[in-house]
Amino acid sequence: MQFDQLKRREFITLLGGAAAAWPLAARAQQPGKLPTIGFMGQTTRSAAGEWTAAFVQRLRELGWIDGRNLAIEYRWGEGRDERFAQIAAEFVRLNVDIIVTSGTPQVLAVKQATSVIPIVFATAGDPVGTGLVLSLARPGGNVTGLSNQNLDLAGKRLELLREVVPNLRRLAIIANVDNPAVVLDLGEAQAAAQMLGLEVVIPEIRRAEDIAPAFKALEGRAQALYVTPDALVITNRARIQTLAMGVRLPTMYGSRDYVEAGG
């Protein structure tokens, strides 16, 4: 819980700090044109309500009010890769002044769409390892943001899961293998599972339609489940939780959002 609270505080601070530099950009605007933020949400408006509320609140504290001296263009990825690319292209056409997003596939989509518009990401898994930035100290290019340290936490999460399930021998890891950060997280989780002497089965998913068949394939093959954090699984977390309970699998999630939604 503390980690999630920290992420939200850092999210507000980071985006607020980026906003503080916008007066310079605003002076370069065409007369009558408000500085514009392109906000790409990973999931849906309802699922991201807490994040957007914090974002808008911090902007207001800094004197930036949507519709008065600032415009925010919200778009929602719904956990689908094709949506991320479409939204990125739309933001470039709109010529927004800055793009705010979260998650490795989302950042990759906007990075591929523009090398000029500044990109700020709230969280991403191993931004160096996935090629989002050159280094944490000097990100370079037009991209900056925060790492969520998922790779550092995979082993600890599995240790906690084994404490909950003392006789754990067979572990399922559900992963969206189209997400480069998830692939890295998956590798760390597999290595940690091996160190703990666990047999691992990996039902790969790439889209929402893969989730139900993945759980069907797990019946009788696993004693617990590890869910790698990702926009696809966050968007479909209610379905994942229902299916996990249906096959009676104790489940370790990547953040408290899943638990708050019933996991």
- 143 and 154 fall within a common domain: no
**Looking at the 3D structure of the chain, how many domains does it have?**
2
- 240 and 184 fall within a common domain: yes
pLDDT of residue 5: 40
pTM above 0.95, yes or no: no
Here the CATH number for the domain that contains residue 136 is 3.40.50.2300
Of 147, 164, 193, the last residue of a domain is: 147
- 159 and 123 fall within a common domain: no
* Domain of residue 108, residue span: 2-147
pLDDT of residue 29: 52
- 173 and 119 fall within a common domain: no
139-173: b or e for each residue (b if 16 or more CB lie within 10 Å)?
beebbbbbbbebbebbbebbeebbeeeeebeebbb
pLDDT of residue 27: 36
| Distance in angstroms (rounded) separating the CA atoms of residues 256 and 7 | 12
**pLDDT tens sequence for the chain (263 residues):** 333 444 444 444 555 455 444 443 443 455 568 999 999 998 888 878 888 999 999 999 999 999 999 999 999 998 888 899 999 999 999 999 999 998 888 899 999 999 999 999 988 777 887 788 888 788 888 999 887 766 677 888 899 999 989 899 999 999 999 888 888 888 889 999 998 999 999 988 999 999 999 999 888 899 999 998 888 888 888 889 899 988 889 999 877 777 777 77
- 248 and 164 fall within a common domain: yes
